[in-house]
Chains A and B, each alone.
Chain A
Amino acid sequence: MSQAERRSHPFVDWLRSANEYCFGYGSPTTLGVIRIGVGFLALVNWLMIGVDWDSWFSERGFIPNWLGSLWFGVRTPYPYFLSTWLPQGLPRLNLLSGITDPRINMAFYAVVTISALFTCIGLGTRYAAFVLAIGTVTLHDRNGAILHGGDTVLRMLVIYIAVSPSGQACSLDRLIDLWKERISRSPVLISIWGQRLIAYNTALIYFTTLWLKWDGDKWRFPKMNATYYPGRLAEFYRFPLPDFMRSGWMARVTTIGTLITEFCLGTLVFFPPARKYVLIGGVLMHSYIEYSMNIPLFSFLMIVSYLSFYQGEEVTGWAQRMGMRLRKWHVRVSLPQGMRLQPRALAFFDAMDPFKMVTYLPGEGPNWTAEKFDGQPIGVSKAIGSRCIGGWVFLWLPGMSRRLLEKGLEAIPTEAQRAEKSEPKPAGQFARKGR
């Protein structure tokens, strides 16, 4: 068989397409958005833990350091491999192992919490995400007795974020690099195996949970009333539900709905035509759980992970389509006469504005002006600050947007200057006629 024939074998084709699907290059936008969500939820999680820090992570609490080690040591005996020098059990990534000084523990906690914030906003993303991942694993290994499913989801997501170039999009790092002209203004492409891992792990959660449910008689015919029980556990109550939602027949409906949704989320979600409907089902299921049951952050984390089923280009396209729908909130910002934005500033403001709601025009007056879609004037800082969500982290600082605009300006060269410098006309990609 010739090499060409071998290449065209269906299995080889399948392998090739699987290889490209899993390890090919694509837009980092999805990973960037997931990073924001995960960073934010990690921040909320650690702040919530901080409320009862003394109970969970101090030597005066329910789980002092030695007991935290014992928790995992007892549960995971390791009789063969490395057992001679690891009599306690498996080695775990726990930087706080044996550290009982509350000041060190608190400092560690503070660093992890701050790293969650930095991961969220994408500042020093590589380091912040790495610290967050190490910190999260450490704190989970320090006290495993308080962990629930949401914690495991969070831990997995921060690890995936840390090992992926998640700061390449939707991050302050990218904005700073664009401003300082350290990176190309063209869209970046990354190998998206990190995103694929998130997608796979998300599907794995549903598939294996569903599989385990198959053992439970309450999930199977003839009972099929499993969801009846959690809804009646007083310790899980959250917001009130109408009585019929707790009734027997509704339990049957929600039990079947849960099984179908979980099956689809574990399998059909990879099939593009079904993806949207499957994910809507997942969002509805988790929204119901979030509303009715007190299971903090779990639903939000799962919903954030759903983004991994979308390509970065799809997320970008969605944002732009959404921006078009929000047309009446668009603004036009006019530059001072004779000035234009430097290419770096243009790329910077463009990256800050995912919904493409701000257009920059050459002005005819001496100052910056801005007007809304209906022609009403609006303050320049307000116009940019309110529309460019990528800049919300820093544009609220007094004078920040104006300072950026001023620094991003350059004089439009006259024809004579152009001729003198043999400067080509303004790049076509940055200028077009009419609106």
Chain B
Amino acid sequence: MASVQTRPQTAPLPDQPNSPQPAKARTAAWWVKVLVLWHVFCITVWSCPKPNDALVSGKVTPPPFAIGDWLRLFDEKDLRTLQPVTFYLFTTGTWQYWDMFAPNPANIDWWGDAVVTFKDGTSKTYQYPRMFLLPIPEKYLRERFRKFYERAHDDTYSYLFPVFAMRVALLNDTDPNNPPVKVGLRRHWKQVADPGEKEFDRYDSYQYFTYEVDPKLLDRLKKEGL
């Protein structure tokens, strides 16, 4: 009968002779353990949910048995502020905070556009990529436009507005004789009605920023960027 050549059936165990693994090396080196534990401590501290503002400011004191609130306060005031923790997380890129759909999921639909006014006085509406209008494959590719807009239209980040407007001006600068001279950024929003209530049927709009385009800056942007 012919013998059959097949794969190895059993591999030697670590503590058997000829094993590639030393039998005594049962766990990682001590310094690896220290680093791992430090890392676990840091990411846990940073991921711990922040307490609400009233608790942090001391306006409200958590009840004695609200262990979660006390833990979060301790984390916010005494651990998160430890400079080695912050330094480690931010320099290594391991910073993290998890708040997907929390504490409450978003219930407002936002999208944006811009009114671009040209040198000859005409104007047109520039549609910033809006996921709802894009075909499914494209919206998957370009979802970051939605994420960016979530922040870029927020007054907290108003320092983003001028650059946003310049980018819109650049994208609309197609005729050298008729460049954009003004960009008005608009946000549109609609709140999702609570269950059982009538849906709002239209979006509210507001022009939150107007930018007079500096032709020299636009020229520079075209050539080398801001």
Contacts and interface: CB of A to CB of B under 8 A. Distances in A.
B96 A213 contact: no
Interface string B178-199: 0000000000000010111000
B65 interface: no
Interface stretch (B38-46, B56-64, B118-126, B206-214): B38-46
A186 B170 CA distance: 61
Nearest to B32: A193
B174 interface: no
Interface residues of A, number: 115
A64 interface: yes
A353 B196 CA distance: 56
A46 to B, nearest CB: 12
A209 B143 CA distance: 22
A146 B192 contact: no
B33 interface: yes
Given A159-B92, A350-B8, A236 B224 contact: no
A124 interface: no
Given A362-B2, A426-B3, 5 more contacts: A22-B33, A63-B160, A76-B86, A211-B49, A296-B143
A432 B4 CA distance: 6
B27 A23 contact: yes
Contacts of B26: 20, 24-25
B100 A23 contact: no
A234 B132 contact: yes
A432 B104 contact: no
B8 A347 contact: yes
Given A213-B103, A359-B6, A431-B3, A48 B167 contact: no
A57 B143 CA distance: 16
B73 to A, nearest CB: 13
A14 to B, nearest CB: 15
Interface of A: 19-20, 22-25, 48-49, 51-52, 55-56, 58-64, 66-67, 70, 74, 76, 78, 80-82, 90-93, 100, 102, 133, 136-137, 140-141, 145-149, 152, 155-156, 159, 183-189, 191, 193, 197, 200-201, 204-205, 208-219, 225-230, 232-239, 248, 251, 294-296, 335, 340-341, 346-347, 349-350, 353, 356, 359-362, 364, 426, 429-435
B167 A61 contact: yes
A201 B36 CA distance: 12
Contacts of A229: 104-107, 192
A235 B5 contact: no
Contacts of A152: 96-98
B5 A92 contact: no
Given A197-B36, A208-B98, A90 B93 contact: no
A209 B170 CA distance: 40
Contacts of B144: 49, 52, 56, 146, 148
7 contacts: A59-B226, A78-B83, A90-B86, A145-B157, A191-B28, A235-B132, A349-B7
Contact of B68 (A149, A186, A214, A248): A214
Given A23-B33, A48-B141, A251-B195, A218 B105 contact: yes
A200 B166 CA distance: 44
A325 to B, nearest CB: 18
Contacts of A361: 2, 4-5
Interface in B69-122: 83, 86-87, 90-94, 96-111
B100 A209 contact: yes
B78 to A, nearest CB: 15
Nearest to B193: A232
Nearest to B148: A146
Contacts of B194: 225
Nearest to B93: A137
Q: Which of B52, B101, B132 has the most CB of A within 10 A?
A: B101
B106 A230 contact: yes
